[in-house]
Structure 1
Amino acid sequence: MTWLITGGAGYIGAHVARAMNDAGEKVVVLDDMSSGIVKRLPESVPLVRGSVLDRELLDHTLAGHGVTGVIHLAAKKQVGESVEQPLRYYEENVHGLTVLLDAVVKAGIRKFLFSSSAAVYGVPEAEVIPESAPCLPINPYGETKLAGEWLVRAAGRAHGLSTACLRYFNVAGTARPELADTGVFNIIPMFFDRLTRGEAPRIFGDDYPTPDGTCIRDYIHVADLADAHLTVARRLAVQDTAGDLTVNIGRGEGVSVRELADLVNEVTGRGVTPVVEARRPGDAAKAVASVERIGRELGWSASRDVREMVESAWEGWCLRHPEARGA
């Protein structure tokens, strides 16, 4: 098979592209380079620069590279920005997916893997969240991911596609320093950024009904996430009949924000006491993935722990911010 990976030069996408390529899968990347970096990709992986909104480019790419399966990661993903720019998020994340799926169907492609998010659950009541939990997103980003799932499944049923929707929990770490996340939107790089600037990391709320009062989250190493994509893609490749698989991607274990801050201090060699600020609206006390379904259906489980995530992320951060080591 030949897999098209949209958004494949981004942080997660490049890890997926490398994992697929290293495993002997044939891949081609489509990326608009809004957050992608060319050097993240192996030289042997073709890169097509452009958007999934460009139907002519999609048709040319699918036919020209003999694509037989698609892994769709291209999307806007900043929660706060989605609140400020909902029209842009629906255009990029939902309309872009519509254009892509139409091109896929017309090209006769029957394998489609969609990058979704735990944001579809909103603020769940269950502390350990199964895929059957109600989906009640609380921001436009989560809404676009849920709408994307609906669209993927509907297209699959109507056109005989084998589809999969992967609901990521909190992605962290890096397989190698040069592939690290360059954004400062997730908690670990936010901690690193504050420490590098000589400021104390921030904890939002310490009065939650948890053992230490701070929120508990499920973190997944990006290399494990990439391996999960490879596992699911290979299942789709050998699947003879149409159908949908929706699975959580996490470790099934929670880590509190304070525990994470302590680990960051330990890995970076700092001893900075975090400052506690007011709760952020919409933060659940605890959100941990149930990983029973992916274990049962695919025999897959994460293999890397939170320390590996923090240590690898720190190496990646220091590659781009060498002053951080002596800060």
Structure 2
Amino acid sequence: MDCHRCTDATTRRSCRPSEIEILLYFFVNYTSLQGLDIPSRIRNYYQLVTSQAIKVLTSIPCCLYTSVSPSRGPAVLVTGGLGYVGSHVCLELLKRGYTILIIDDLRNSFSNTVQNIGLAFETSGFGEYKTAIQNMNHIPIDYGDTQALNQALVGYGRYFLIVGAIHLAASKSVAESLKNPRKYYENNVSKMERFLTALGSLGIRNVIFSSSATVYGCLPPETALKPLKEDLVPVFRSLRQLGGMLGGLTPYGISKILGEGLVARFVERDKQRNGVVFRLFNPVGCDPSGHLKDDPKDKKCRGGVMQMIMKSVRRDQVFEVYGTGLGGRGDKSCIRDFVHVADIARGIAMGLEACVYKGYRDRERLKVYNLASGGGISVKQLVRKVGLESRVAVRVRECSKREGDIAVSVGDNGKIECQLGWVPERSIEAVCKDFCHAYNLQKDRGDLN
């Protein structure tokens, strides 16, 4: 029985099908054996397997899918797939041969991002634009709308075997969460709980969750001055377990901690489920093709630090740098661990494949990884590097520390390197180059001061 996505004999031998895939294979192919002269012992075995297959497949909702075309491969569900990180994740999945079901209600994204992903795929040399478009299916619904989600996935389940879900959809502004914490609880926690319940009822067993480095905000300031390891903040199953650690967290950070706990409980309810929690540090840059950008529809979100730098370059505005509250240390601006968004996407795809193809061999069915470079630079240094690449002298104004800001946030990536083999491949200089290319900021506007 060949794996859906393996093409050569060596790869096929190393890719083990699941129990359900084996049962389904015999169930589907049993009718073709009827006319052959097969010993009764073998025929009885096939009949037994058929009986077992019927029991297994009818006991799991929506598990009896039609055959998946080997040319398309298995399908992956991606929420928030038309957002900044999501679009890069979809591009990475296309490069790996997956069909993608994108759940995105377009509240903070644009429908033409589907076409932009296709253009980026073609530009990268992995295949034609038409192939990319055929392998993406955009479902414009709210991921928290259980009825719409069930209807959509039951329908697509007739044509694709959904091997896992990558959950990226969320409200993500720290500043906004301080003003409207209820929105962040509803969008990031309540909806996620309903979403995971729906996945469980549909038999989808592998979940990848995009958490955030903001969960480390609960640590004492002196702890955060060193590269942060995953075990400093374990996955909490409830707020009660957090105890007095909530003090340094923003509503956004709390919503991410609660989201991690929801994934943990999802995995615990079924021994065949697997999960990966990725704590993203600071995704920056753009795909080298220039077709994918950080372009939120909701202007209140303002985008990340690179968006703010871009606006300063284009409009010749002063860029505001917020202080650390650490007195005279460094250049008085916050230190962050910036990671190229393409490296982030690659790590998320590797986490998915670890679940799908290795999860059944691993006793620890929930993994937590930092997606971090392991080193940090200050915001002022980042501004200067963008200025050098764009040939624009960006003027800077120093401001006082913002509420909710962490002075230093650098992640330790030793665990993910050891277990998944992931290391960042793109430097901060590559980040700035790709960013300036995507936004057409590389202009000759005089020498830098």
**Fold-level similarity (TM above 0.5):** yes
> Residue 428 of structure 2 corresponds to which residue in structure 1?
306
The one-letter code matched in structure 2 to 1:23 is R
Tell me the equivalent position of 1:26.
99
Name the CA distance, whole Å, in 2 between partners of 1:72 and 1:180: 19
Stretches of structure 2 that go unaligned for 5 or more consecutive residues are 1-73, 119-132, 234-244, 297-301
SS of equivalent residue, structure 1 residue 289: coil
Tell me, yes or no, if structure 1 residue 85 matches structure 2 residue 180. yes
- Which position in structure 1 is the counterpart of 2:138? 47
**CA spacing shift, 1:180–1:90, aligned 2, 3 Å:** same
What is the distance in 2 between the residues matched to 1:299 and 1:315?
29
Distance 1:234 1:200 in 2: 44
Partner of 1:133: 232
Q: Which amino acid aligns with 1:229?
A: I
Query: Please, what TM-score do these two structures have when normalized by structure 2?
Result: 0.68
1:167 aligned to which of 271, 279, 297? 279
Deviation at 1:123, TM superposition (A): 5.7
Letter in 2 for 1:18: L
In structure 2, the CA distance between the partners of 1:326 and 1:30, relative to structure 1 (3 Å rule), is farther
Q: Identify the range of structure 1 (296-305 vs 272-281) with the bigger mean alpha-carbon deviation.
A: 272-281
Write the distance in 2 (CA, Å) between the matches of 1:311 and 1:80. Answer: 28
Shift of 1:311: 1.8
The answer as to whether partners of 2:83 and 2:108 remain within 8 angstroms in 1 is: yes
- C-alpha change, 1:206 and 1:267, in structure 2 (3 Å) is farther
Aligned pairs, number? 324
Paired amino acid for 1:113: I
The match for 1:219 among 321, 338, 355 is 338
Does the CA-based 8 Å contact 1:123-1:284 persist in structure 2?
no
Is 1:179 aligned to residue 292 of structure 2?
Answer: yes
- 2:277·2:369 contact (CA, 8 Å) conserved in 1? yes
Q: Write the distance in 1 (CA, Å) between the matches of 2:404 and 2:144.
A: 31
CA drift at 1:186: 1.5
Pairs within 5 Å for 1:96-245: 96-122=191-217, 124=219, 125-127=223-225, 128-134=227-233, 136=246, 138-160=249-271, 161-175=273-287, 176-183=289-296, 184-205=302-323, 208=326, 210-238=329-357, 239-240=359-360, 243-245=365-367
Query: More strand by proportion, 1 or 2?
Result: 1
Kindly indicate whether the alpha-carbon contact (under 8 Å) linking 2:324 and 2:407 is maintained by their aligned counterparts in 1.
no
Tell which deviates more after alignment, 223-232 or 37-46: 37-46
User: In structure 2, how many angstroms separate the alpha carbons of the residues matched to 1:272 and 1:226?
Assistant: 29
**Residue equivalent to 2:86:** 13
Query: Aligned-pair distance for 1:262?
Result: 1.1
Q: Deviations over 1:59-94 (max 9, x none)?
A: 122222232311111111111111222111111111
How far has the Cα of 1:206 moved from its partner? 6.9
User: Do the aligned partners of residues 64 and 325 (structure 1) sit closer, same or farther apart at CA in structure 2, a change above 3 Å counting?
Assistant: farther
Shift, 1:149, TM fit: 0.3
2:163 maps to amino acid: T
Instruction: Note if contact 1:206-1:276 (Cα within 8 Å) is conserved in structure 2.
Output: no
After superposing the two structures, state which structure 1 stretch, 207-216 or 109-118, moved more: 207-216
Q: Which amino acid aligns with 2:323?
A: G
Q: Which runs of 4+ in 1 moved over 4 A?
A: 324-327
Preserved CA contact (<8 Å) 1:71 1:112: yes
Instruction: Give 1:207 shift.
Output: 6.6
Aligned-residue offset at 1:211: 3.1
Question: CA 1:325–1:110 in structure 2 vs 1: closer, same or farther (change >3 Å)?
Answer: farther
- For structure 1, the residue ranges without an aligned partner over 5 or more in a row are none
Match for residue 61 of structure 2? Answer: none
